[in-house]
Structure 1
């Protein structure tokens, strides 16, 4: 188990066996890395399950993601070397940024699982809002058509109402002339009454003609309104909004919950902070810990390979230089011999 955690920490197991004082430090680093990978696997499996809704696919992709995060964390820690604090910090900055991104990616699916009940309730609210928005859109679409038909219908009804009012007023004038309560104030249906009665009868005739002309139009407009109401009701009943439950909708629901509830916002933030602390802890352990025996042995091993590389480069350079010098000497001798031959010939 100890060797396994050493391997997880990215350390050289052969060198660590010579440094018992550094054993516990690298066991802790390795354990942190392996548990981070496990959390990443659980988190990714839940996220993929919300997408594919299939256990085997979610488990397989979750394990693959967890292994990738494990390998990445192991590389981040193993690539750090002990040197001056300023140099170590500068080297650790890109690793810390990468660790922050990894921790946020791991934390989000687990947050969705922790607040699953609250998120499901909020998804129901979001679903209802979407249905209401679609209904409103349909109602708005039909209301423009119904408003146009209603205006035409009201215009016709107003015209009939004005004609009825005119007829009633003429009838009232004729009645008052007949009973002496208006007009000439004489109780006698004389010539003036006949004129007023004729006007009232003419208005009644015009009203009946107007009714005969407009009643079919009114019925047609009412039928149009009823048909529009039926079409509107049919489109509303035919609404088929699928249940939302994917990762994007769940993240939006969690964001809405955080805006509504301070407690959920703080809980959400602390979960992210916890994973950031877990993910960055191996890096900070490497930064704040003093240079130990393992670091010296590792430096010696790397320095040995480095010096061997320099020696090989130097020896290669010397060989090339000697070969070049030999070639230059041969070329000089050849040129000298040619020059001597030319002088003898001359």
Structure 2
């Protein structure tokens, strides 16, 4: 228990030998030291999470997170230990103002990664929506780049339409020929059964239409095959380009992307915005608590002993300086006498 007490004393920046002589001040500095320690711990956790989103490796995140936490701990300890009670409230608040501003900045920096972790599910959904939009935009861009695929498809449809028109014309002549042979009377047939003159003319027209259809189909099919090959090659190139873009879209999960998603969420949702403000205020309160404790607490016995100790050092330094100056003057006077 004593080792834990001494550790928190160290965290508060207090001088333990003097603090042991002031039992009434012990709990105050244990509270200050605990606040400083846990602020550094939260800084390490928040920075570790933030760095994990950057490096995506646990080792780097833990190492740099601990380094950042130690730096914040050292800064907080220095800020608290550098404040002294002098029973001059205005002067103390004036000196504490820059420290409070700096502590507030540190609180905002520490709270932001924690805020990202708290709203991680909402941020992940927002990032999924953003990735979907990015993928659709990329596909549209590729469609614009590979617009030739659509043009080739239109050419192929046109060739197939011409073949279909020829097939319809051939089928029409086949029907008229059949009607003529079997004596079915229509606007284009005589109604006489058998292979008469009209039937033979219909047969000749049907044969000519079939020959034209075969030639057309043969020529157009070779062109359709070439168009299919060109379309297949372009589709492969488009697929390769999309495959190259997909990893970049899937990797849209960094710290800046999450901060941007959180900014959009706070704009769209008043509840998330209010929760974010409360989280920041909580860390500001925790970060500035040791400074306010120093400011609002009365001057105690530890402050008296600390001033006395420092005054003794100042007096001792003055005495030693005076002694050294006197010795120097005496040696110079002896030196002058020897010269005379």
- The normalised TM-score by structure 1 is 0.67
In structure 1, the partner of 2:245 is 239
In structure 2, the partner of 1:92 is 96
Matched, 1:60 2:68: no
1:1-346 → structure 2 map (5 Å cutoff): 1-83=4-86, 84-142=88-146, 232=238, 235-236=241-242, 239-241=245-247, 242-331=250-339, 333=340
Shift of 1:224: 12
CA deviations over 1:32-76 (Å, ceiling 9, x no partner): 111112211221222232233333443333333222222221111
Q: What CA distance in whole angstroms lies between the structure 2 residues aligned with 1:79 and 1:254?
A: 37
Q: What CA distance in whole angstroms lies between the structure 1 residues aligned with 2:38 and 2:48?
A: 15
Shift of 1:15: 1.2
Q: What CA distance in whole angstroms lies between the structure 2 residues aligned with 1:238 and 1:62?
A: 33
Gaps of 5+ in 2: 156-218
Shift of 1:146: 8.6
Q: Is the 8 A contact 1:127 1:243 kept in 2?
A: no
Q: What CA distance in whole angstroms lies between the structure 2 residues aligned with 1:127 and 1:277?
A: 37
- The normalised TM-score by structure 2 is 0.68
Which of structures 1 and 2 has the bigger CA Rg? 1
Cα RMSD, aligned residues only: 3.4
Q: What CA distance in whole angstroms lies between the structure 2 residues aligned with 1:3 and 1:238?
A: 58
- For 2:245, what is the secondary structure of its paired residue? coil
Q: What CA distance in whole angstroms lies between the structure 2 residues aligned with 1:134 and 1:315?
A: 83
Q: Residue 230 and residue 61 in structure 1: after superposition, are their counterparts in 2 closer, same or farther (change >3 A)?
A: closer
Shift of 1:129: 2.4
- For 2:246, what is the secondary structure of its paired residue? coil
Q: Residue 328 and residue 88 in structure 1: after superposition, are their counterparts in 2 closer, same or farther (change >3 A)?
A: farther
- For 1:291, what is the secondary structure of its paired residue? coil
Q: Residue 111 and residue 284 in structure 1: after superposition, are their counterparts in 2 closer, same or farther (change >3 A)?
A: same
Shift of 1:136: 3.5
Gaps of 5+ in 1: 154-214, 334-346
Q: Out of 67-76 and 320-329, give the one that drifted further.
A: 320-329
CA deviations over 1:105-146 (Å, ceiling 9, x no partner): 211111111111111111111212222333333334445x79
